[in-house]
């Protein structure tokens, strides 16, 4: 699913909202999550999962074309750990389409 599909589904499930309002809400959520991760904070969405960052140390690598050693800079890596309800849904329930697809388990 891409951002436009997410916006379309949320708008379809909430006909009282204008499409522009849904776009603004989705953009705000994603920006807020991105800002938190950039600060090094965890983002936990109950029953969905947790996003966190991990530091990857600088290291030496090789240029695959020439075989020359190159320095690879330190960087941050984003990790996602699914929540219990998400793991249960992925491993036990068949995939559903339609209006139910956007909801996680009701029996959390």
Say how far residue 85 (Cα) sits from the centre of its chain. 16
Across the chain, the runs of DSSP E, i.e. the strands, are 43-45, 49-56, 59-62, 69-72, 75-82
- Is the pLDDT at 102 greater than 70, yes or no? no
pLDDT value at residue 58 = 97
Give the mean pLDDT of the chain. Answer: 89
32-46 pLDDT, tens digit each? 999 999 999 999 999
Is the pLDDT higher at 93 or at 19? 19
CA distance 90 to 23: 27
61-78 pLDDT, tens digit each? 999 999 999 999 999 999
Give how far Cα 83 sits from Cα of 77, 87, 102, 106, Å: 19, 6, 16, 14
pTM > 0.95: no
Helical packing angle, 19-38 and 3-13, nearest 10°: 130
């Amino acid at each position: 699913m891409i951002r436009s599909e997410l916006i379309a589904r949320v708008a379809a499930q909430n006909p009282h909202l204008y499409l522009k309002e849904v776009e603004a809400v989705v953009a705000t959520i994603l920006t807020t999550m991105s800002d938190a991760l950039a600060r090094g904070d965890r983002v936990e969405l109950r029953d969905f999962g947790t996003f966190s960052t991990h530091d990857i140390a600088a290291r030496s690598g090789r240029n695959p074309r020439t075989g020359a050693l190159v320095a690879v800079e330190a960087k941050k890596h984003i990790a996602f750990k699914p929540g219990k309800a998400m793991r249960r849904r992925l491993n036990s329930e068949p995939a559903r389409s339609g209006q139910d697809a956007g909801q996680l388990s009701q029996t959390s």
